[in-house]
């Protein structure tokens, strides 16, 4: 089944404790992206990657890091999480030359 997977789905952590949210897609998509969803703000892009080793900032990159060492994986790293990063996070992927994005199921993160 073609899909985007994220792990973990739920995470409660404390301020300053480094964490990684994994994202993997099995559709051989070149483009991958991370979004955060907050009430009243919609989906805002954090980082995106156009291919292996090619990443760029989205609209809200502060406090986040990403890497793209393999085509299928695009982890999101929070090196020192803060409470304002409490949010619902989505990973998405798409083929180069296509506008249709496929989203993962989301990761709900709470930073205490």
Partner 1 sequence: QQQVKQSPQSLIVQKGGISIINCAYENTAFDYFPWYQQFPGKGPALLIAIRPDVSEKKEGRFTISFNKSAKQFSLHIMDSQPGDSATYFCAATGGYQKVTFGTGTKLQVIP
| Least distance to partner 1, CB of residue 15, Å | 27
| Least distance to partner 1, CB of residue 14, Å | 25
Give the residues lining the site for partner 1 (CB under 8 A).
4, 33, 35, 40-45, 48, 58-59, 90, 92, 96-101, 103-106
Residue number, 1 or 40, with CB nearest to partner 1 = 40
Tokens of 76: 């999101």
- CB within 8 Å of 85: residues ≥ 6 apart: 63, 64, 78, 109, 111
Residue number, 23 or 111, with CB nearest to partner 1 = 23
Cβ atoms of 23 and 110 closer than 8 Å: no
Residue number, 49 or 85, with CB nearest to partner 1 = 49
| Least distance to partner 1, CB of residue 31, Å | 8
- Give the whole-angstrom CA distance, residue 32 versus residue 86: 22
- Give the whole-angstrom CA distance, residue 62 versus residue 73: 21
């Amino acid at each position: 089944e073609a899909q985007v997977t994220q792990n973990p789905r739920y995470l409660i952590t404390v301020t300053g404790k480094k964490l990684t949210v994994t994202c993997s897609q099995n559709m051989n998509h070149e483009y991958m992206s991370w979004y955060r969803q907050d009430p009243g703000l919609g989906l805002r892009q954090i980082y995106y990657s156009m291919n292996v080793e090619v990443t760029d900032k989205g609209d809200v990159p502060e406090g986040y890091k990403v890497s793209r060492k393999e085509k299928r994986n695009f982890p999101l790293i929070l090196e020192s999480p803060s409470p304002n990063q409490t949010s619902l996070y989505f990973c998405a992927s798409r083929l180069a030359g296509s506008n249709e994005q496929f989203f993962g199921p989301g990761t709900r993160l709470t930073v205490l």
